[in-house]
Structure 1
Amino acid sequence: MPRSPVSAATVEFGQRVVARRKALRLSQEQLAHASGLHWSTVSQIERGLYNTGLQNILKLAVGLQTDPGDLIRGMLPP
């Protein structure tokens, strides 16, 4: 049985990660390598299945060459 997204916030965060990754023309594996994360973690974050923490947000921001605030700005808590 497929897992459901954790919350609307995790889905929105994942969509922001996907949009930035695609703008940079990176694969999930390339982003994972640049971020120091496992590719499966990146995949779960992008699909809203993983409620990631601050450390991973900071790592993703490095891999996505963006400010961490850009990934969460304007988001409301779940």
Structure 2
Amino acid sequence: MTDKEILLRVGTRIRELRKENGLTQEALGEKGGFHFSYIGQIERGEKNVALLNLAKIAEALEVDISQLFIQTNRDNSEESKADIQEINYILNQQNAQKVAMAKNVVKEIFNYK
């Protein structure tokens, strides 16, 4: 993955979360202490944003910073969403060893390194 692809993925995810929260770039900028044009540059993958600034953006979006790095599921079908929720529920009922095992299985299925 290129540097540009990484910046675009994170920027796209920030945009998704911002819109889910019903925020404009200006509103997010105000909450995080940034100028709205900086938020736009991040969302377009034009800025290599500092980790501490990502933490401030996550706080302004009221999400854990890890949520900025999660690629969303492009299949928005209700069945897909329900499947993901069920998997999440099942995993939340397991101990750490079983969760780690499940993660390894998923990585193997999708050939994710």
- Per the normalisation by structure 2, the TM-score is 0.58
The percentage of counterpart residues that share the same residue type is: 35
Aligned residue number for residue 28 of structure 1: 25
Q: How many residues align?
A: 69
RMSD: 1.3
- Alignment gaps of 5+ in structure 2: 72-113
Instruction: Quote how far apart the aligned CAs of 1:70 are.
Output: 1.1
Are the aligned partners of 2:13 and 2:70 in contact in 1 as well (CA < 8 Å)? no
More helix by share: 2
Instruction: Quote how far apart the aligned CAs of 1:73 are.
Output: 4.2
Instruction: Quote how far apart the aligned CAs of 1:55 are.
Output: 1.1
Structure of greater relative contact order (alpha carbons < 8 Å, 6+ residues apart): 1
- Alignment gaps of 5+ in structure 1: 1-5
Runs of 4+ in 1 over 2 A off after TM superposition: none
Aligned counterpart for 1:56 among listed residues 53, 56, 64: 53
Aligned residue number for residue 34 of structure 2: 37
Instruction: Quote how far apart the aligned CAs of 1:38 are.
Output: 1.1
